């Protein structure tokens, strides 16, 4: 998903430059297929696969290897974890607070999970000797490959091993990009296909005095680069130039991180790396080696674009040292002051506030995301956030996306239905009036204002969120116009608004329909794919019509009440046509229903929402009824007491009037007027309850 955000956002920017502003965009995409991480992963995958093949049975030797690798992994990556024994680890793991530890060490969860999985494999194998070798090795893979690589990595020399892994993932990446409707690049460059040019590029920098050779490697001389006052290093992030952790990470995990390798300064970086055992290698004037990471893009971009380019893109995490080093290399090679005019750095993507990272193994794959969300929804999620801002992919954003999508879907469906309705009238030979009054003038003014605002938004840092906000506002105004004008609405005016909105959405990479009214929606477009005959397409609709006609004929012959005829009409609308993705909107007066083809998923959602509201209403009604019944039972229970006997208590009173209301207390003293008044009120209330009870008793023949 992090890659999706990067490449889709860049694709949207590219489309805006090309399709809105009219620039001729020459788009070069570099593929890194030689890199420290790729080398290590390819080597580890090969060694692991070979080990699994060689050990089909879970022997003691295999179990010992898993245990040794588990201890090595713990000592290397999680020293806090006791590796002395499985029991000690199990006790520690049961007490450790993973979330708290992860706040201090972002990789804690990943390492903890790897150790726990391998520990489970060890424990399971000891407890159950029948455990399959493949199952145990798979559970321990993350820790086992570390030991295998340490012991045997230097023996891996076949170039195909290092070539096959990036080739496989490049194709997987391309499939993901096609699924996301990302435009293919004009040119694709792969590092492995440009090694001779890289060697020549490095040699030229040495001639220019900006690089030096040391122990078979070649390094960029950052001090020499700045010494003449012509160049500046770390233009993009000058505040990061001294951060050794970033510099070391940029050099790669297989690089030596000290000046013992012959570097003049710890801030110098590798242009060419002398190969060690277990690494791919190519010939060069400095011996067998391979390109450094930063040099790749400088060379390939220079080869395809030249001594200057307009725009360089890439994630914000690449700004330093990668892009800063690219700039320095290219300016040292071309002897220019500005190799790139603009950098577009898309912001990071977070999931519910948490940073997503491949190295931390907390990422969502593009294919997983596409199982849950549509391509349109993902592209909308990215377009609704400014491309260079961080994006928090959370439930609130998805709700915003779905609301926006539904709003536009409904608008497009209404406009298409109105156009179809008008075309049907014309086909019947009926005259359709064309009106243009103050409401239409206002609608066109709204359209013109929206066009101005969208242009301003795209001129302001390609602001798609602001542009989409303008589209949403225009749709709201068009809906107000439809509601106000009803049958008098100008279809050409609404079509003009819908087509312009569709045009802007198409610029952002949302494919439009053939009729230019709205984006394509898959299920409702299938009738144009040519895969089915007219009969196959029409038959479900004809069956619905035929079944409805049969039912109406039977009811008419039986002379049923009109209400049953209306029920049949509602049923064909709400059930038969619903299943076919057709929505009928009843209109006022003599106008026929407005026919709309709507995505069935949307209709299902609307039906579910309607049913949920009706269920909630029935539930409230039922609860209200139950509450009324409870209150009635309570009143009736209270009413069983005869009011003339309610104060019959000699311990409290000594005299009563004819109705049984006390007049004197137990000592014979006359009650105060206020007390008499209160008791009389209680009597009157009970008299009313008792009368209600007697009436209920007489009507039902029951007693409480």
Q: Contact, 143 vs 69, CB < 8 A?
A: yes
When pLDDT is cut at 50, 70 and 90, the band that residue 547 belongs to is confident
Residue 230 clears pLDDT 70, i.e. is over it: yes
Residue 529 clears pLDDT 50, i.e. is over it: no
Helix (H, G, I), strand (E, B) or coil at 30: strand
When pLDDT is cut at 50, 70 and 90, the band that residue 362 belongs to is low
Strands, E assignment, 174-308: 187-190, 211-214, 217-220, 269-274, 289-291
Give the C-alpha separation, 533 to 309, whole Å. 52
* φ, ψ dihedrals at 392, nearest 5°: -100, 105
pLDDT for 399 equals 93
When pLDDT is cut at 50, 70 and 90, the band that residue 483 belongs to is very high
Helix (H, G, I), strand (E, B) or coil at 353: coil
How is residue 408 written in tokens?
A: 């536009």
When pLDDT is cut at 50, 70 and 90, the band that residue 593 belongs to is confident
3-class SS letters over 664-704: EECCCCECCHHHHHHHHHHHHHHHHHHHHHHHHHHHHCCCC
Q: Contact, 697 vs 703, CB < 8 A?
A: yes
How is residue 74 written in tokens?
A: 């713990």
Average of pLDDT values for 522-530? 38
Give the range among 75-84, 461-470, 504-513, 639-648 with minimum mean pLDDT: 75-84
Q: How far is CA 39 from CA 35, 183, 254, 462, in A?
A: 6, 29, 9, 38
pLDDT for 524 equals 34
Please tell me the pTM assigned to this model: 0.77
The end-to-end CA distance of the chain, in Å, is 68
The label of the residue with tokens 């969860």 reads 109
pLDDT for 522 equals 47
The label of the residue with tokens 């009173």 reads 653
pLDDT for 523 equals 34
Residue 507 clears pLDDT 90, i.e. is over it: yes
Average of pLDDT values for 47-74? 90
Residue 571 clears pLDDT 50, i.e. is over it: yes
How is residue 689 written in tokens?
A: 């309850």
Residue 561 clears pLDDT 70, i.e. is over it: yes
Nearest to 453 by CA among 478, 470, 468: 470
Length of the chain: 704
Instruction: Please give the mean pLDDT across all residues of the chain.
Output: 88
Give the range among 60-64, 366-370, 569-573, 625-629 with minimum mean pLDDT: 569-573
Q: Are strands 349-351 and 391-393 parallel, antiparallel or unpaired?
A: parallel
Strand partners, 189: 30
Q: Contact, 341 vs 310, CB < 8 A?
A: yes
Give the C-alpha separation, 366 to 169, whole Å. 13
Residue 598 clears pLDDT 70, i.e. is over it: yes
Give the C-alpha separation, 312 to 310, whole Å. 7
Give the C-alpha separation, 107 to 101, whole Å. 9
pLDDT for 302 equals 97
């Amino acid at each position: 998903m992090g890659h999706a955000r990067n490449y889709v956002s860049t694709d949207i920017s590219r489309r805006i430059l090309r399709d809105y502003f009219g620039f001729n965009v020459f788009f070069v995409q570099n593929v890194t297929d030689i890199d420290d991480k790729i080398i290590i992963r390819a080597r580890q995958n090969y060694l692991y696969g070979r080990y699994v093949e060689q050990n089909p049975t879970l022997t003691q030797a295999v179990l010992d290897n898993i245990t040794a690798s588990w201890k090595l992994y713990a000592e290397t990556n999680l020293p806090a974890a006791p590796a002395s024994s499985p029991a000690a680890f199990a006790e520690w793991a049961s007490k450790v607070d993973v979330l708290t530890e992860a706040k201090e060490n972002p990789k804690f969860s990943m390492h903890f999970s790897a150790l726990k999985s391998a520990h489970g494999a060890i424990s399971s194998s000891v407890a159950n000797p029948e455990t399959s070798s493949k199952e145990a090795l798979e559970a321990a893979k993350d820790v086992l490959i570390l030991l295998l690589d340490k012991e045997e990595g230097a023996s891996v020399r076949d170039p195909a091993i290092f070539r096959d892994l990036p080739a496989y993932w490049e194709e997987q990446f391309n499939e993901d990009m096609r699924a996301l409707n990302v435009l293919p690049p004009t040119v694709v460059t792969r590092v492995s296909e440009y090694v001779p040019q890289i060697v020549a590029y490095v040699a030229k920098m040495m001639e220019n005095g900006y690089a030096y050779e040391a122990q078979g490697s070649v390094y960029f001389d950052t001090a020499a680069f700045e010494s003449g006052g012509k160049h500046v290093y770390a233009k993009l992030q000058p505040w990061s130039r001294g951060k050794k952790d970033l510099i070391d990470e940029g050099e790669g995990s297989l690089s030596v991180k000290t000046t013992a390798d012959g570097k003049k300064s710890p801030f110098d970086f590798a242009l060419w790396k002398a190969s060690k055992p277990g690494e791919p290698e190519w010939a060069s004037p400095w011996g067998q080696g391979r390109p450094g990471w930063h040099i790749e893009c400088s060379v390939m971009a220079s080869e395809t674009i030249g001594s200057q380019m307009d725009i360089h893109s890439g994630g914000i995490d690449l700004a330093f040292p990668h892009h800063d080093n690219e700039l320095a290399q290219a300016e040292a090679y071309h002897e220019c002051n500005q190799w790139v005019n603009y950098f577009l750095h898309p912001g990071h993507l977070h999931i519910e506030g948490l940073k997503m990272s491949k190295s931390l193994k907390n990422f969502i794959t593009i294919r997983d995301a596409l199982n849950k969300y549509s391509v349109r929804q993902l592209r909308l999620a990215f377009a609704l956030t400014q491309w260079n801002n961080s994006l928090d992919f959370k439930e609130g954003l998805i709700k915003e996306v779905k609301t926006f999508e539904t709003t536009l879907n409904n608008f497009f469906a209404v406009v298409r239905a109105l156009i179809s309705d008008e075309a049907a009238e014309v086909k019947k030979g009926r005259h359709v009036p064309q009106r243009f009054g103050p409401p239409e003038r206002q609608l066109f003014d709204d359209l013109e204002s929206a066009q101005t605002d969208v242009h301003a938004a795209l001129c302001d840092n390609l602001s798609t969120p602001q542009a989409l906000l303008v589209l949403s506002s225009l749709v709201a105004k068009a809906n107000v116009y439809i509601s106000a004008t009803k049958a008098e609405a100008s279809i050409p005016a609404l079509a003009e608004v819908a087509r312009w909105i569709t045009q802007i959405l198409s610029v952002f990479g949302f494919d439009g329909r053939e009729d230019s009214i709205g984006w394509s929606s898959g299920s409702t477009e299938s009738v144009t794919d040519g895969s089915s005959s007219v009969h196959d397409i029409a038959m479900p609709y004809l069956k619905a019509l035929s079944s409805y006609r049969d039912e109406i004929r039977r009811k008419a012959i039986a002379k049923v009440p009109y209400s049953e005829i209306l029920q049949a009409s509602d049923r064909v609308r709400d059930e038969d046509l619903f299943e076919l993705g057709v929505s009928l909107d009843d209109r006022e007066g003599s106008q026929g229903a407005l026919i709309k083809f709507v995505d069935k998923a949307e209709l299902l959602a609307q039906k579910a929402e309607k049913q949920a509201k009706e269920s909630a209403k029935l539930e409230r009604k039922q609860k209200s009824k139950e509450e009324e019944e409870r209150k009635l039972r309570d009143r009736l229970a209270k009413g069983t007491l005869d009011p003339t006997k309610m104060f019959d208590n000699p311990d409290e009173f000594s005299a009563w009037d004819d109705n049984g209301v006390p007049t004197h207390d137990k000592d014979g003293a006359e009650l105060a007027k206020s007390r008499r008044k209160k008791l009389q009120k209680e009597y009157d209330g009970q008299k009313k309850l008792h009368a209600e009870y007697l009436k209920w008793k007489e009507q039902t023949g029951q007693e409480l």
